[in-house]
Amino acid sequence: MAESSVSFLVQKLYDLVSQEASLFGAVKGEVRQLCKELEWIRLFLEYADGQRRYDERFKLWVNQVRDAAFDAEDVIDEYVFKVERKRQQRLNNLKFLNFLPACLNFVDKLQLAHELMGRITDINTTFEKILVYKKRYGIEYPRASEAGSSSEPWRYSNQMVARKEKRLPTVEETNVVGMKNDVEAVKGKLLEGATERVVVAIWGMGGLGKTTLAKKVYNDSDVQQHFKCRAWVFVSQEYNIRELLLGIANCVTTLTDEQKGKNENELGEEVKKCLQGKRYLIVLDDIWNTNVWRGLRSYFPAESNKSRVVITTRNQGIALDAHSDCHELQPLGDKESWDLFLNKVRSAGLEEFKKEILEKCKGLPLAIVVLGGLLSLKDLTQHSWRKVLDSKDWHLSQGPDSCLGVLALSYNNLPSYLKPCFLYCGVFPEDSEIKASELIQLWVAEGFVQKRGKETPEDIAEDYLYELIQRSIIQVADTRADGRVKSCRIHDLLRDLAISEAKEEKLFEVDENIDVDVLPTSNRRLIGNINQTNSPHLQNSNLRSLILNGSPIDEGGGVFLHKYPKLLRVLHVDLVQDRGIYDVDLKLSGKIGELIHLKYLCLGGIKTEIRLPPSIGGLVNLQTLDSGDNYIRIPHTIWKLKQMRHLNCWRGTISSRQSMRETWVEGHLGVHQMTNLQTLYLEAGDWLKDNNLGKLAHHHLKQLKLNLEYHSELKEGSFRSIAQLTGLQKLKLLSDNFIESEGLSTSNAEVESTPILFPGLESFSHHKCLYKLHLVGPIRKLPVETTLYPPNLMQLKLFRTRMEEDPMPILGRLPNLRILTLLPNSYVGTGMNCPHGGFLRLEFLQMQGLVSLEDLSVAEGAMPNLKTLKIEFCREVRKFPDGLLQLKKLQRLNLYFLPNELISEVLETQGEDWNRIRRIITFQVPPHSW
């Protein structure tokens, strides 16, 4: 980890010296000397970093190097901050100047440079002393075979990450080896026994696979058949009863905004009312406190209808307190352990290590897959495996049944560039689903991603993520239509390891672990629910990241972010708690524009409108601005930020064009100047005029979400701009009307005229990268010619399109379509037919809220690869489509809120095909008011 800090600092210094030569001037030589010293130190650090666990001399030396590197980074960042602030002040006083630090007064610059030279000289002296200590106390360089590092300086080191062929990971299978008997045992407790409500507890130590077992049972076809009302919520150590009730309610019903805002008792009554009279199954995963069940049980009806509640816990006392029917999960046997290991390593070689591997893992599935993930990346040789198995890192194992030694071994064997990325996963709440895009953007902003040729940092970071997944340190939670990772998880034991190691490495601290006796200046990143007005740690001028989860609200009910540590790189404020949203004011000081090092700004969970101050234009290094679904007003000065990569403000409006005076001073500002932009989510506005969006055609824009509703005058020009953006991968458009012309004449007079879906954009044929398209607004009739659609379209979502003709014969001919989602009012006709030979690659189909649909038919040979089908809130579909019986690959069928006669037909009709359908079906019956 210290090696990562030094590598980051060296790269940063080289970039600054080469790109901002005038910034350093006379002190350039001192900075270059520091770089060279750090390069040689870095070569030794990776070895020393591993040895510090076993030798206090190494530990002290590594800590001194890391702290000195932190000091050097602070000195450089403070200098850049002062120079930029002086430049901004001078620019404000002399409105006609628009240059970089060259416009500083010579005396000012000389004073700052003199101060920097003194501090850099002190740091160089510190590093010289550290090197003397190394030699004096016998901390020797390792032999080449031990160090595993190149003898070349850092810039030419083979430690740079090599480009690898991207291998798309898959969602972790729940069919874990050796659980067959456990699954049958727990199923028996759920499906048989007493008629009254019963609590079933799955308990055992961490890493045994309690959650995996519960998931497998929860998704079992027999269990789904038996319980038509099911819910799953994660509990974890930091729990809230209202949050749990809201999670359960979201699983079993659809809540209004008013219901979501109710207090704990009112929400509990809503849940109870919804469960009343139904046979339900509720899973409460990962309980740490007896008060969880005590706080929830009164809201779960105890009727005699064989309802069940499943809890998973490490504590047998919790299981007994709930008066549950207990199932203790045991470690895997030798055969099952070895089979699971081979399934991960995917090789049957080197069986001479079998006994040793099994002894190390002690039958714990988590330990087995993590060790398998580590060895799967090693050469299949005795020497390579023996080196891992003889590692001293096993010393962290605590107790005869702990798997911490395996986890520590896997962490310590990570390449240096992956260690901070793994540790950073600990900043997310326990059991949370982590968005891959958010994680990647944070890694980039924090400086964890090394350069690699001309590749974008996001692509390199995605490779990092895939490597961590391959090592089984991170699990895939969900994937995108193109197979890439959409979200991921980290096991709570690995999260505990990450938090512990991060504290040791001074990478970050979570609020509950902050040592009040330690000086606030030792913390560089703070995570958690931190009270802004009372915490001295927020006064730390060296703070680099502030991730606030929960409610940093002052006594006046407002969120005050007016005291910013000047070197901040990441500011993430998420006020979502209890899965609701705070109705508070977010007050951003105009001084936020002074945070010139800020690269990531996220403002989430704000119900009232956010207003950014004009000083936002001073954030010259900002890469990500994310307001999620919050309403936000953004000043036009945002267009100054040429480093912006992700502008995610779906409900964001940009203020009107700048005045003549501003144009004269600053030049014409517009989106076309954001040439690094990859993600753009915004509401339409004047910024779309003059084809500014289209001018990004030859740059990096990959994702575009554009709200054109109420902006009809901008529609045609926007579509013409989109026609030029042939590098787009994902596109979402919201419009009051997509079709402007009734038809387009073709060269063949006999062919019926085709409607123009987008005026000015008659064809998507050149958008070969576009794989996801989401349209919201009237279309009425789709173009017939498939050449007008993106040739590689994989995912299509339609909402409020009000199509009057059956879209299936046309959409069925799209060759690469895998996911089709038809949301309410997307189709207003009464009949829908999936034709023979249509949808050859479709895997997922959802039809929701098609309230006029009466007849749904599926021809033989249609949708041969369909795996998931969801038909929901289609109240007029009264007959089950017989064609669905021939879909042999169908694995999941959801029938929610459909007429009772259709459900009765599925449950009562006899035959082998109907029995297969019943094994995969999940349904909910509509309320009596239907």
Task: Provide the pLDDT for residue 490.
Answer: 94
- Answer whether 11's CB lies under 8 Å from 127's CB: no
Mean pLDDT of 654-660: 71
Task: Provide the pLDDT for residue 752.
Answer: 47
Distance CA(114)–CA(85), nearest Å, equals 17
Of 134 and 512, the structure prediction assigns the larger pLDDT to: 134
Task: For residue 160, name the pLDDT band (cuts at 50, 70, 90).
Answer: very low
Task: Provide the pLDDT for residue 661.
Answer: 57
Task: Provide the pLDDT for residue 362.
Answer: 86
Asked whether the predicted pLDDT for residue 483 surpasses 90, the reply is no
Of 928 and 296, the structure prediction assigns the larger pLDDT to: 296
The three-class DSSP label of residue 628 is: strand
Asked whether the predicted pLDDT for residue 563 surpasses 70, the reply is no
Of 655 and 575, the structure prediction assigns the larger pLDDT to: 655
The angle subtended at Cα 826 by Cα 820 and Cα 827, nearest 5°, is: 100
Which runs of E-coded beta strand occur in 650-713?
Answer: 652-654, 679-683, 703-707
Task: Provide the pLDDT for residue 346.
Answer: 74
Of 125-139, 210-224, 436-450, 473-487, minimum mean pLDDT range: 125-139
Mean pLDDT of 281-296: 93
Beta-carbon neighbour count of residue 852 at 10 Å?
Answer: 13
- Answer whether 451's CB lies under 8 Å from 386's CB: no
Of 622 and 229, the structure prediction assigns the larger pLDDT to: 622
Of 225 and 561, the structure prediction assigns the larger pLDDT to: 225
Of 51-60, 126-135, 165-174, minimum mean pLDDT range: 165-174
Distance CA(46)–CA(717), nearest Å, equals 55
Residue type, 113: A
Asked whether the predicted pLDDT for residue 437 surpasses 90, the reply is yes
Asked whether the predicted pLDDT for residue 513 surpasses 80, the reply is no
Task: Provide the pLDDT for residue 555.
Answer: 42
Distance CA(775)–CA(798), nearest Å, equals 5
By CB neighbour count within 10 A (0-12 exposed, 13-18 middle, 19+ buried), where does 539 fall? Answer: exposed
Asked whether the predicted pLDDT for residue 929 surpasses 90, the reply is no
Determine if residue 184 is left, alpha or beta; phi over 0 gives left, psi from -120 to 50 gives alpha, anything else beta: alpha
Residue type, 712: S
Q: Is the dihedral of CA 250, 255, 257, 259 positive or negative?
A: negative
For the stretch 545-580, what's the b/e string if a residue is b when 16 or more beta carbons lie within 10 angstroms of its beta carbon? bbbbbbebbeeeeebbbeebbbbbbbbbbbbebbbb
Task: Provide the pLDDT for residue 810.
Answer: 94
Output the pTM of the full model: 0.86
Both structure tokens of 467: 């490597």
Percent of the chain beyond pLDDT 90? 38
Mean pLDDT of 744-768: 59
Residue 885: DSSP 8-state: G
Return the top range by mean pLDDT from 148-157, 384-393, 887-896: 887-896
Task: Provide the pLDDT for residue 149.
Answer: 37
Of 162-171, 647-656, 788-797, minimum mean pLDDT range: 162-171
Task: Provide the pLDDT for residue 158.
Answer: 37
Task: For residue 675, name the pLDDT band (cuts at 50, 70, 90).
Answer: very high
440-472 pLDDT per residue, tens = 999 999 999 988 888 999 999 999 999 999 999
Task: Provide the pLDDT for residue 863.
Answer: 96
Q: Which of 309, 310, 286 is nearest to 182 (CA)?
A: 310
Asked whether the predicted pLDDT for residue 580 surpasses 50, the reply is no
Asked whether the predicted pLDDT for residue 156 surpasses 50, the reply is no
Task: Provide the pLDDT for residue 851.
Answer: 94
- Answer whether 438's CB lies under 8 Å from 570's CB: no
- Answer whether 634's CB lies under 8 Å from 653's CB: yes
The angle subtended at Cα 763 by Cα 760 and Cα 767, nearest 5°, is: 110
856-900 pLDDT per residue, tens = 999 999 999 999 999 999 999 999 999 999 999 998 898 888 998
Of 37-46, 87-96, 716-725, minimum mean pLDDT range: 87-96
Q: Which of 148, 141, 124 is nearest to 58 (CA)?
A: 141
Distance CA(884)–CA(859), nearest Å, equals 9
Asked whether the predicted pLDDT for residue 111 surpasses 60, the reply is yes
Q: How far is CA 670 from the centre of its chain?
A: 29
Percent of the chain beyond pLDDT 70? 79
Both structure tokens of 555: 């006594």
Q: Is the dihedral of CA 508, 512, 517, 519 positive or negative?
A: positive
The most distant pair of C-alpha atoms in the chain lies apart, rounded to whole Å, by: 92
791-826 pLDDT per residue, tens = 999 999 999 999 999 999 999 999 999 999 999 999
Of 74-83, 166-175, 425-434, 703-712, minimum mean pLDDT range: 166-175
The angle subtended at Cα 246 by Cα 242 and Cα 252, nearest 5°, is: 145
